[in-house]
Amino acid sequence: MRDAARMLARNRQEMIANELSRLAGDEYLEDIMQHMRHMEVRRKKDLVIGVRYFLEALLTTDSDRTRHYPMLTSSTCNARSNGSCGRISLTS
């Protein structure tokens, strides 16, 4: 008799815990989804900015490059490229 009462109490406790867990999940689901959408938009913006930066650096003339991108001067460019500032090597 005692074992049956314990089993029923444990079963009821598990049902209550499952219900509380479901309620908490439902409550936070919209916050989680909103955060995921925010991070996706932010990641896409960062990616676009990065791609635009490197494309502009590759497509500008040498004089434009040194004026707008002083970090890509000939001294730093030769260290990063295959000898030509317009063609940056992806391998070292």
Domain extent listing, the chain = 2-59
DSSP class of residue 92 equals -
- Is residue 62 a contact partner of residue 81, using CB atoms and an 8 Å limit? no
Structure confidence at residue 32 (pLDDT): 92
Task: Give the pLDDT score at 70.
Answer: 63
pLDDT digits (tens, 9 = 90+) for 28-87: 999 999 999 999 999 999 999 988 888 887 777 666 666 666 665 555 454 444 444 554
Residue 10 has pLDDT above 80, yes or no: yes
Q: Which has the higher per-residue pLDDT, 9 or 62?
A: 9
pLDDT score for 54:
84
Reference 80, options 60, 58, 53, 56; nearest CA is: 58
Residue 18 pLDDT: 96
pLDDT of 8 = 94
